[in-house]
Amino acid sequence: MRGSVKRSLTLCFLLGSACAYFGSPLFVSGRGQSGAKNPLSKWRPARDYSGVGYAGAAACAQCHAKESRTQAATPMAHAAEAGAACEVLKSRAPLTFTNGAYTYRITREGERAVYTVGDGVSTISEPVLFCFGQGVAGQTYIFQHRGAYYESRVSYFQESKGLDITILHPRGVPASLEDALGRPMSREATQGCFNCHTTAAVGDSRQQFERASPGVSCEACHGPGERHVAAMRAKDLSDPKIFDPTGLGAIELSQEFCGACHQSFDTVMSLGGQGGAANIRFQPYRIYNSRGHLVDDPRMSCVACHDPHEELRHDAAYYDSKCLACHLSTAGELKTRARSAPACPVATKQCATCHMPKVELPEMHYRFTDHWIRIVKPGDAVPR
């Protein structure tokens, strides 16, 4: 891990002042926006923006039919669901799990979903308020118990289509029924979950979980849209009054914008480098470490390979053109100013299958795509 941290810092240095900028208030101001005029010019995901109301994704759909149709079907849009509406539980409940003397049951009762833990003598039951995660890898349950928000000790995992211990929870047999239930979350932790998995959880400098709409929808990325909707309805095009990330540079877009939830290089470093396998999940950090791949190049930004309004493409061939925007296809091909990166001596297609390998994260029971683009030699350890 030490080596990679050193290397990252070297890269950081090579990129000049970019790293020092992260986190500085200067960096937060949007580019390409008329700063003074647009009240949302400093908007970033998961930040509070007081004083402007949310309109809801249904309002956006009236005028932006294309983005709305496809975005609503993405896992991001379903990153959280109300317990009653949760698709995994509708199709899979009852779910059961046993750990020592403790039994877990997640059931649907009428329109409610209920999380129950028993120790053979007594039981605790609480209604599931929110299902967190679409279930691509897994899904965790949030409920209230004695006035606090809890994260369930067991989660659903897609691989086994059943329950197992939640990532980062102790795998041993719980000490008590209360302990078996899950983890009471601090205010900060609760806020974190809601900021990254729901829309409009913060407003007017306070949390408003009850009013949060589950999932990452339009206004989680574009900021509250009430004024935009009003202006557009009034056909006032003088100022769109909404945040348009198109104006962001590649580093900002990847590291700060998508990185607000997918974890930027800076966040990972501030958590002590997050050594260990878990940082496979943090794509902005992994890309940052890829030798030769300068993150200030728009061809390396998240939106170069992913349209945030559409479902993730799983066919490796789709990404070939993204690599070949910089790399030559064959060694014989003529270099141009734009395409000057070396050709592969091994293959001409399916680049990602070899250079962005899938890496299993055992606790998540899922194979994540390593965004640390590199030559993978058999037996090499995954860089951290």
Query: CA dist 107 to 79, 91, 284, Å?
Result: 21, 11, 37
Residue type at 54?
A: Y
CB of 108 to ligand HEC, least distance (A): 19
Buried b (16+ CB within 10 A) or exposed e, 185-201: beeeebbebbbbbbbbb
Task: Indicate the length of the chain as a whole number.
Answer: 384
Looking at beta carbons only, is 119 or 226 nearer to ligand HEC? 226
CB of 118 to ligand HEC, least distance (A): 23
Looking at beta carbons only, is 108 or 299 nearer to ligand HEC? 299
CB of 172 to ligand HEC, least distance (A): 20
Q: Which helix (H) or strand (E) holds 140?
A: strand 138-145
- Rounded to 10 degrees, the C-alpha dihedral 231/236/237/242 comes to -10
CB of 221 to ligand HEC, least distance (A): 3
CB of 121 to ligand HEC, least distance (A): 29
Distance CA(297)–CA(308), nearest Å, equals 18
Closest CA to 129 of 118, 120, 140, 119: 140
Closest CA to 100 of 176, 173, 180, 179: 173
Looking at beta carbons only, is 117 or 324 nearer to ligand HEC? 324
SS3 helix, strand, coil % of the chain, rounded to 5?
Answer: 35, 20, 45
Question: 152, 131 in Cβ contact below 8 A?
Answer: no
CB of 244 to ligand HEC, least distance (A): 4
Q: What is the DSSP string of 26-38?
A: HHHSPSSS-TTT-
Looking at beta carbons only, is 5 or 119 nearer to ligand HEC? 5
Looking at beta carbons only, is 60 or 180 nearer to ligand HEC? 60
Looking at beta carbons only, is 179 or 239 nearer to ligand HEC? 239
CB of 139 to ligand HEC, least distance (A): 5
Distance CA(33)–CA(271), nearest Å, equals 32
Three-state secondary structure call for residue 113: strand
CB of 120 to ligand HEC, least distance (A): 28
Looking at beta carbons only, is 117 or 193 nearer to ligand HEC? 193
For residue 272, the 8-state DSSP code is: G
Distance CA(177)–CA(186), nearest Å, equals 20
Looking at beta carbons only, is 99 or 252 nearer to ligand HEC? 252
For residue 333, the 8-state DSSP code is: S
